């Protein structure tokens, strides 16, 4: 009995210590017609940095990002592997050399979802509690 209690206690401790699937703090959404169901973290990063500009279908990628600074910081750290300030430095180089502009910016989750729903090539990210009716949530794999 004592052994069983020890095993249960150790198992409980291990379960408590084991990380649950870490919540990234955002959800990536694409147009409902987009065949993708999952994307790698690197792919998502390339799409939002506009280094990958075409979907496999040939459609132009239309990334859209929220104005919410905290949400952008979470996404940036997780997906790009660097903070939003470093990503902003990347965009400054492209903007002011006349090469590219950052993703379209929308005020909130509803506007992001509406933009993604209306544009076949769109990809965006929203907060975990956002209503995503009419768009497809894709998983981001490491």
Partner 1 sequence: MRTWTAAVAAAVLGVPAAGSAVELADGLLNVNGSGEWAYLRTDHGTYPTSPVADDDGEWETAMFDLLLTARPSDRLTVVAQLGFHPEDVGLEWGFAEWRFDDLFRARAGKMKQPFGNYAEIQFIGTARPLYTLPTSIYGPAGLGATAVSGVGLTGDWTSRSGWGLAYDAYVGGVELPILEPYEVLLPAAGVAEELHVEHLENMVGGRLSLTTPGGIVLRLSGYGGTLTAQEGAEAGEDHVLVTSGLSLFYRGDKLWLSAEAFHAGEYGVEQQLAAYAEAAWFFTPKLQLAGRWEASRVTLDDFDGSSPLLRHDEVVLGVNYWLAPELVVKASVHGVRGHRFAAPATTPADPTTLSDGDTLLLVGGVQFTF
Q: Which residues bind partner 1 (CB under 8 A)?
A: 40, 42-43, 45-46, 51-54, 60, 67, 82-86, 88-90, 92-93, 95-99, 101, 104-105, 115
**Cα–Cα distance between 36 and 32 in angstroms, integer?**
9
Whether the CB-CB separation of 29 and 136 falls below 8 Å is answered with yes
The least CB distance from residue 33 to partner 1, in Å, is 18
> What stretches of the chain show up as alpha helix (H) in DSSP?
2-17, 41-48, 69-75, 84-96, 109-118
Residue closer to partner 1 (CB basis): 8 or 89: 89
Residue closer to partner 1 (CB basis): 7 or 70: 70
In eight-state DSSP terms, residue 51 is S
The least CB distance from residue 27 to partner 1, in Å, is 22
In eight-state DSSP terms, residue 55 is -
Residue closer to partner 1 (CB basis): 3 or 97: 97
The least CB distance from residue 95 to partner 1, in Å, is 5
């Amino acid at each position: 009995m004592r052994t069983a209690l020890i095993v249960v206690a150790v198992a409980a401790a291990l379960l408590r210590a084991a990380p649950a699937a870490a919540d990234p703090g955002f959800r990536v959404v694409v147009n409902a017609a987009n065949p993708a169901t999952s994307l790698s973290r690197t792919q998502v990063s390339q799409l939002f940095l506009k280094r990958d500009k075409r979907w496999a279908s040939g459609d132009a990628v239309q990334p859209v990002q929220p104005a919410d600074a905290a949400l952008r910081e979470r996404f940036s750290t997780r997906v790009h592997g660097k903070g939003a300030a470093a990503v902003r430095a990347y965009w400054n180089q492209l903007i002011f050399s006349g090469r590219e502009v950052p993703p379209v910016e929308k005020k909130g989750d509803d506007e992001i979802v509406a933009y993604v729903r209306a544009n076949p090539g769109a990809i965006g990210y929203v907060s975990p509690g956002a209503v995503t009716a009419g768009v497809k949530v894709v998983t981001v794999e490491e």
